[in-house]
Amino acid sequence: MPRLEGFSDNINVAVFGASGGVGSALVDNLAHAVNINTVYAVSRTSLNGGKGIVPINCSDYSEERLASIAAELPDLDVVICAMGILHDNNLAPEKSRSQISMPNMQRVFEVNTFLPALIAKHMLPKLTKDRKSVFAALSARVGSISDNRLGGWYSYRASKAALNMMLKTLAIEHGRRAKNSVVIGLHPGTVDTNLSKPFQTNVAKEKLFAPDFSAARLLDVVEKVEPSDTGKIFAWDGQEILP
């Protein structure tokens, strides 16, 4: 990536969830763009810095910590929330309603919906107002209600649908204050990361993306969106995903 098109020179970018598969690939891609001044890589785990990369530890993503990070950061041109959860050692996506449980739902919504909303609360005021700026969060096509034809995955689907509504609502409010800002959701496709590992068996080879490929395509979307696109959800190929 020689340049993040659509933006001025010496821009600052923050990536939250920077240690994940997509998040780390986004940081790597952004660090190679000549018009980027600094990439702030925010993660629960300690990361190594590098040329133009400033790691920031955010072990608990509490409101207090997010507020302190916001106070430390300069004005930002791009903020990307790259965190997400589908499964871990204690939960798996539900195949039927009998598997729905309150602890699992709470955990999935916390990561997929609540954390991006809290990050937006503290980071949207940091976005530059005199030129184009973008706040983006990783969503998923399965969060589209109109596209749900298979059922299942109750918590994950619902958490991403809720995130999409959160982004739309944030876009409306923020648009009143910053006419040049864009708030969007991004669907990265099925990426070869830990999140998708247990579910890759039936994915066609050409539809299983390397993290670097997905990150580059998502940044293509960030380059091209305009203020008129705020509140929308876009797939990796630039196609809008309907609610």
Asked whether residue 5 is assigned to any structural domain, the reply reads no
Q: Are 152 and 93 in contact (CB under 8 A)?
A: yes
In the chain, the percentage of residues whose pLDDT exceeds 70 is 94
- Give the span between the Cα atoms of 107 and 143, in whole angstroms: 17
* Predicted pLDDT at 14: 98
Residue 111: CA count within 13 A, CB half-sphere: 19
List, as one string, the DSSP characters of 10-71. SEEEEEESTTSHHHHHHHHHHHT-TTEEEEEEEESS----BTTEEEEE-SS--HHHHHHHHH
Bridge pairing between strands 233-235 and 208-209? unpaired
Q: How far is CA 217 from the centre of its chain?
A: 13
pLDDT bracket for residue 206 (50, 70, 90): low
Asked whether residue 6 is assigned to any structural domain, the reply reads no
List, as one string, the DSSP characters of 141-154. GGG-STT--S---H
Q: Is the pLDDT of residue 227 over 80?
A: yes
Q: Mind listing the pLDDT tens digit for each residue in 8-19?
A: 999 999 999 999
For residue 192, count CB atoms less than 10 angstroms from its CB and return exposed for 0-12, middle for 13-18, buried for 19 or more. middle
* Predicted pLDDT at 177: 92
Number of domains in the chain: 1
pLDDT bracket for residue 109 (50, 70, 90): very high
Helix count (H) and strand count (E) of the chain? 6, 10
Between the alpha carbon of residue 10 and those of residues 53, 152, 220, 222, 239, the distances in Å are 13, 45, 18, 17, 29
Amino acid at 98: S
Phi, psi of 125 (to 5 degrees): -65, -15
Asked whether residue 222 is assigned to any structural domain, the reply reads yes
In the numeric block, the tokens 């309907």 are attached to: 242
* Predicted pLDDT at 35: 95
Phi, psi of 90 (to 5 degrees): -115, -5
Q: Mind listing the pLDDT tens digit for each residue in 132-189?
A: 999 999 999 999 999 999 999 999 999 999 999 999 999 999 999 999 999 999 999 8
Q: Is the pLDDT of residue 200 over 60?
A: no
Q: Is the pLDDT of residue 198 over 70?
A: no
* Predicted pLDDT at 180: 96
Q: Which of 57-61, 155-159, 222-226 has the lowest mean pLDDT?
A: 57-61
In the 8-state DSSP scheme, what is residue 74? Answer: -
What CATH number is given to the structural domain containing 19? 3.40.50.720
pLDDT bracket for residue 196 (50, 70, 90): low
Q: Are 174 and 237 in contact (CB under 8 A)?
A: no
Q: What is the pTM of this model?
A: 0.94
The residue segments making up the domain with residue 131 are 11-241
